[in-house]
Amino acid sequence: MKEIRDELVRLLKEGHCTPRIVELSRELKESSPTIHYNIKQLEKAGIIIRYKAVFNYKKIDQGYCNYVLINLSNDEYSNPERIARELAKFPEVESVDIITGGWEIIIKVRTKDVDEFYGFVKNVLSKRGISRTISLTSLKQIKTEFIELYDDTNIVSDSSHSNK
């Protein structure tokens, strides 16, 4: 078989996924057409905008996760959206938020390791418009995309965390 793992992961990260109608039907004890109809209504109303896969990032060489707080330079302070949109274009950047509390932007960066993150800092965060940064390294992720994780390979099932 042809190896397309990297291309497939990229597309799944970008939101090229579909809901699992049969599993939802079984869980909600409703017919598949009922589930499909309601999903289409949620999409039509703009409530659901994309479907995205949740990954074990270590297994796709993106297990080194950092949150970076960013202060903008005076000439960029009045337009944080410009810098935020520029940062969002980099494949290492998982999320970008404009925030309050002494910082203007926070980004979530995923790389293979500290060396790759250092390259990102040198090549991206040293750009004009960013005056100061603080990096916070994630030691272990417990929950992501509203999915609770309990180790590197297993996801907590509904039945296992309902007894807690």
> In CATH, what number is assigned to the domain containing residue 117?
3.30.70.920
Is 79 in the same domain as 132? yes
Is 117 in the same domain as 75? yes
Whether the Cβ atoms of residue 148 and residue 161 lie closer than 8 Å to each other: yes
Q: Which helix (H) or strand (E) holds 9?
A: helix 5-13
Q: Which of 150, 131, 69 minimizes the C-alpha distance to 103?
A: 69
Number of domains the chain is built from: 2
Please report, rounded to a whole number, the percentage of residues in the chain having pLDDT higher than 70. 91
Is 132 in the same domain as 63? yes
Is 66 in the same domain as 88? yes
Flag whether pLDDT at 162 surpasses 60: no
Flag whether pLDDT at 155 surpasses 70: no
What residues make up the domain containing 106?
A: 57-137
- As a whole number, the mean pLDDT across the chain is 88
Residues 74-83, mean pLDDT to the nearest whole number: 92
**pLDDT class for 152, splitting at 50, 70, 90?**
low
How far, CA to CA in Å, does 18 sit from each of 40, 43, 51, 59? 12, 12, 6, 22
Flag whether pLDDT at 160 surpasses 70: no
How many beta carbons lie within 10 A of that of residue 129, not counting itself?
A: 16
Is 35 in the same domain as 101? no
Amino acid making up residue 61:
D
Residues 27-50, mean pLDDT to the nearest whole number: 93
CA atoms within 13 A on the CB side of 163: 4
Is 19 in the same domain as 69? no
**pLDDT class for 163, splitting at 50, 70, 90?**
very low
Q: Does 132 fall in a domain?
A: yes
Structure tokens at 83: 């810098």
Whether the Cβ atoms of residue 17 and residue 52 lie closer than 8 Å to each other: yes
**6-32: pLDDT as tens digits:** 888 888 888 888 889 999 999 999 999
**pLDDT class for 153, splitting at 50, 70, 90?**
low
Is 97 in the same domain as 72? yes
Residues 104-115, mean pLDDT to the nearest whole number: 97
Q: Distance (Å, rounded) from C-alpha 45 to C-alpha 35? A: 15
pLDDT of residue 121: 95
Helix (H, G, I), strand (E, B) or coil at 154: coil
**pLDDT class for 124, splitting at 50, 70, 90?**
very high
pTM (two decimals): 0.81
Is 67 in the same domain as 30? no
DSSP secondary structure letter of residue 124: I
